[in-house]
């Protein structure tokens, strides 16, 4: 984390004189889950992972471990962007099967693609996990997207525009032809949880820790780690599905929509769409008082108030 504090944006990129370029770099690490049992138990407890999947590695655990593995890439001087201030836009994981806590794997990370964004630049980091007893193909792939905010850019960019397909939770949440729409009980998050997760994950980004440190980066209050929220939302859904086929392929797509400032409460909503060729579940973390009201309202001064947006959206297929 200290290296990220000192990693600066390339001067010519910062001045808008040249487009950024991603270096061809990769890092890898062996992970023996049997040596991580205590850490896995702490993670499960902190994210609410259900007991009936106690022998299965939480699907978000490797995404957390990948963040730590990515640090040498992000802090390398050849990487064109500053280490702090990057915004995690979302990530997409695909498992050929869920992993067991008795396994040994190898994780590898490398830079992926680069896009132009209306607010700056977006780049991806790709992570793969291989079972050491069968390294012929990855059992997990993860594509993570990060935004670097920048106003000054070259007049003409040769990079493609960043136009990801949005997860349509809000669209389906307003429709009546659903198999089901479930809502969880309230989930409370506070500053102590953020600091505990920082110790567990190794992610000591100051925007998560204290009010004074968050304000240094433009936040009025500290915010909870997006990767914790992702794990907690998934745990809530898995808690309700004891018969989930852990030996079958599964894709989990996550989009971070807005920050959850601390302290706060939220609820998890799940909708299963009736009219899809492939069964898909859409999840969202919403303000605790949200009641499916998607209409705009008007304040006393005439200001139009938009309905609340999700903090996070997830699709599972």
Supply the pLDDT for residue 272.
Answer: 85
* Residue whose entry in the numeric block shows the structure tokens 């390339």: 10
Distance CA(295)–CA(173), nearest Å, equals: 12
- The answer to whether the beta carbons of residues 219 and 207 sit under 8 Å apart is yes
Q: What are phi and psi of 212, to 5 degrees?
A: -65, -40
Position 295 pLDDT exceeds 70: no
How confident is the model over 89-112, as a mean pLDDT?
Answer: 96
* Residue whose entry in the numeric block shows the structure tokens 């706060």: 264
Banded model confidence at residue 172, pLDDT cuts 50, 70, 90: confident
- The answer to whether the beta carbons of residues 112 and 124 sit under 8 Å apart is yes
* Residue whose entry in the numeric block shows the structure tokens 């850019």: 153
* pLDDT one-digit tens code per residue, 13-43: 889 899 999 999 999 999 999 999 999 999 9
Distance CA(161)–CA(81), nearest Å, equals: 18
Supply the pLDDT for residue 42.
Answer: 97
CATH classification of 165-317, choosing from 3.30.830.10, 1.10.8.60, 3.10.129.10, 1.20.1200.10?
3.10.129.10
- Residue 255, SS3? strand
Distance CA(109)–CA(90), nearest Å, equals: 16
Supply the pLDDT for residue 261.
Answer: 94
Q: What is the pTM of this model?
A: 0.91
Q: Do 1-163 and 165-317 share a fold?
A: yes
* pLDDT one-digit tens code per residue, 221-272: 999 999 999 999 999 999 988 888 889 999 999 999 999 999 999 999 998 8
Banded model confidence at residue 299, pLDDT cuts 50, 70, 90: low
- The answer to whether the beta carbons of residues 173 and 268 sit under 8 Å apart is no
Supply the DSSP string of 48-72, one letter for each residue.
T--GGGTTBPPTTHHHHHHHHHHHH
CATH superfamily label, 1-163: Hotdog Thioesterase (3.10.129.10)
> In terms of pLDDT, which residue wins out, 306 or 127?
127
> Among residues 155, 157, 152, which one has the least CA distance to residue 16?
152
Supply the pLDDT for residue 278.
Answer: 64
For residue 171 the two structure tokens come to 């669209």
Q: What are phi and psi of 246, to 5 degrees?
A: -70, -15
* pLDDT one-digit tens code per residue, 60-69: 999 999 999 9
> Among residues 34, 28, 39, which one has the least CA distance to residue 106?
28
For residue 87 the two structure tokens come to 């915004």
Banded model confidence at residue 277, pLDDT cuts 50, 70, 90: low
How confident is the model over 37-65, as a mean pLDDT?
Answer: 96
* Residue whose entry in the numeric block shows the structure tokens 């139009």: 304
The CA-to-CA distance between both ends of the chain, in Å, stands at 34
Number of C-beta neighbours around residue 176 at 10 A: 6
Helix, strand, coil percentages in the chain from 3-state DSSP, rounded to 5:
25, 30, 45
Every domain of the chain and the residues it spans? 1-163, 165-317
- The answer to whether the beta carbons of residues 112 and 167 sit under 8 Å apart is no
Supply the pLDDT for residue 127.
Answer: 97
> In terms of pLDDT, which residue wins out, 309 or 234?
234
The CA-CA-CA angle for residues 264, 270, 271, to 5°, reads 145
């Amino acid at each position: 984390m200290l290296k990220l504090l000192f990693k600066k944006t390339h001067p010519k990129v910062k001045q808008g004189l040249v487009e950024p370029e991603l270096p061809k770099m990769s890092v890898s690490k062996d992970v023996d889950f049997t040596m991580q049992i205590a850490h896995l138990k702490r993670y499960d407890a902190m994210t609410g992972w259900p007991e009936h999947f106690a022998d299965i590695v939480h699907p978000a655990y490797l995404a957390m471990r990948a963040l730590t593995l990515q640090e040498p890439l992000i802090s390398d001087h050849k990487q064109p962007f500053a280490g702090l201030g990057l915004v995690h836009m979302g990530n997409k994981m695909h498992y050929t099967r869920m992993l067991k806590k008795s396994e040994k794997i190898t994780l590898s990370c490398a830079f992926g693609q680069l896009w132009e964004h209306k607010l700056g630049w977006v780049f991806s980091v790709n992570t793969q996990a291989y079972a050491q007893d069968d390294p012929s193909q990855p059992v997990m792939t993860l594509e993570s997207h990060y935004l670097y905010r920048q106003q000054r850019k070259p007049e003409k960019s040769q990079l493609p525009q960043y136009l990801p397909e949005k997860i349509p939770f809000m669209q389906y949440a307003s429709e009546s032809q659903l198999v089901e729409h479930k809502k969880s009980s309230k989930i409370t998050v506070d500053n102590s949880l953020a600091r505990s997760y920082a110790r567990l994950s190794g992610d000591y980004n100051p925007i998560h820790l204290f009010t004074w440190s968050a304000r240094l980066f433009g936040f009025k209050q500290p915010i909870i780690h997006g990767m914790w929220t992702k794990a907690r939302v998934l745990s809530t859904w898995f808690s309700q599905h004891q018969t989930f086929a852990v030996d079958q392929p599964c894709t989990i797509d996550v989009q971070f929509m807005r920050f959850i400032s601390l302290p706060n409460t939220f609820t998890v909503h799940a909708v299963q769409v009736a009219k899809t060729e492939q069964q898909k579940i859409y999840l969202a973390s919403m303000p605790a008082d949200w009641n499916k009201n998607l209409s705009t309202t008007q304040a006393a001064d005439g200001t139009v108030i938009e309905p609340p947006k999700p903090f996070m959206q997830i699709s599972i297929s």
